[in-house]
Chains A and B, each alone.
Chain A
Amino acid sequence: DVVMTQSPLSLPVTLGQSASISCSSSQSLVYSDGDIYVSWFHQRPGQSPRRLIYKVSNRASGVPDRFSGSGSGTDFTLKISRVEAEDVGVYYCMQATHWPFTFGPGTKVEI
C-alpha cells in the first residue's frame, strides 16, 4: 500500500501568518491518465472532512484562495496564507492513484 507521510503532525499558527504542511508518498502517484490524484481535506471536530484541493493544485469550489497546493512526484505541499481562526482543525492529504487509496495521518493546526 502507498504510505502517505505528513509533517508536521502538529502546527501552531499565528492569525494572519502563513502555514505549510508537507505530504510525501512512498511511491510515484502519477496515474495512467497522466494526472496525479493527490487531494487535501480539512476536518473540524464532529464534522465530515471537507475537500480543499484536488489533483495536487486545483482549488475546489468555494474554497478561499488563501489555500493552495503544489508538488510533483512524491512530495506535495498545502499552503495556507493569512491564517484565519476558522482554519483550525486537522488537515489530511490523500492519494487516489493506487488502490487501496490512502490518507496521511493528519496535521493538527491550532492557533
Chain B
Amino acid sequence: DVQLVESGGGLVQPGGSLRLSCAASGFSFSDYWMSWVRQAPGKGPEWVALIKVDGTESWYVDSVKGRFTISRDNAKNSLFLQMNSLRAEDTAVYYCAWPVRLLHYWGQGTPVTVSS
C-alpha cells in the first residue's frame, strides 16, 4: 500500500524556518515527480512545489519562490521542503501528495503555524 508520512511541522515565529519531511513507501519513489500541497485553515488546497525525479528541476508557486526549496533523497524515499522567511500567510497543513498530476494519494499532513 502507498504511504506518505509527513513530519516537521510546528509553531514558528515570522521570519523563521522549518524543514518538512515526507517518507514515502509502496511505490517506486525514484521514478516519479513529487509535490507539496498546502491548505490554510478554512481554505481550499493550494499547490506549493513540484520536483523532478532526479531533483534537477523544480517548480514553485509565486508566493513561495525564493523562500521555499523542495528537495528529495531517492536513496531514502524521502521528500523535503525547506521553508525560510516564513510569514503568517504560510500557516497551513502541508501535504505530500502523489502522483503529481493526479494526486491519488495524500499524507495525513503536518501543520505549520507562523505566529509570534
Where the two chains meet, the residues of A that have a C-beta atom closer than 8 Å to any C-beta of B are 37, 39, 41, 48-51, 54-55, 60-61, 90, 92, 94, 96, 99-106
Taking a contact as CB atoms under 8 Å apart, the answer to whether A103 and B45 are in contact is yes
User: A33's closest neighbor in chain B, by CB?
Assistant: B101
Determine the chain A residues whose CB is within 8 A of the CB of B61 once the complex forms.
Answer: 100
Taking a contact as CB atoms under 8 Å apart, the answer to whether B45 and A49 are in contact is yes
Indicate which residue in A39, A55, A92, A96 contacts B44 across the interface (CB closer than 8 Å). Answer: A92
Q: How many residues of B are in contact with the other chain, CB < 8 A?
A: 18
Q: A37-B101, A99-B50, A101-B47 are in contact. Are A49 and B106 (CB under 8 A)?
A: yes
Q: A39-B103, A60-B104 are in contact. Are A100 and B47 (CB under 8 A)?
A: yes
A selection of 26 A-B contacts at a CB cut-off of 8 Å is A37-B101, A37-B102, A41-B45, A41-B103, A48-B95, A48-B106, A49-B45, A50-B106, A51-B102, A51-B103, A54-B102, A54-B104, A55-B102, A60-B104, A61-B104, A90-B44, A92-B44, A94-B45, A96-B101, A96-B102, A96-B103, A100-B59, A101-B101, A103-B45, A104-B44, A106-B44
Q: How far is the CB of B94 from chain A (nearest CB, A)?
A: 11
Taking a contact as CB atoms under 8 Å apart, the answer to whether B59 and A99 are in contact is yes
B9 in contact (CB, < 8 A):
no
Interface residues of B in 15-74 (CB under 8 A from A): 44-47, 50, 59, 61-62
Determine the chain B residues whose CB is within 8 A of the CB of A104 once the complex forms.
Answer: 44
Taking a contact as CB atoms under 8 Å apart, the answer to whether B109 and A48 are in contact is yes
Determine the chain B residues whose CB is within 8 A of the CB of A101 once the complex forms.
Answer: 47, 101
Q: A96-B100, A99-B59 are in contact. Are A48 and B108 (CB under 8 A)?
A: yes
In Å, the complex CA distance between A92 and B62 comes to: 22
Taking a contact as CB atoms under 8 Å apart, the answer to whether B102 and A92 are in contact is no
Question: Which of B44, B50, B59 gathers most chain A CB within 10 Å?
Answer: B44
User: A51's closest neighbor in chain B, by CB?
Assistant: B104
In Å, the complex CA distance between A101 and B61 comes to: 9
Taking a contact as CB atoms under 8 Å apart, the answer to whether A92 and B45 are in contact is yes
B14 in contact (CB, < 8 A):
no
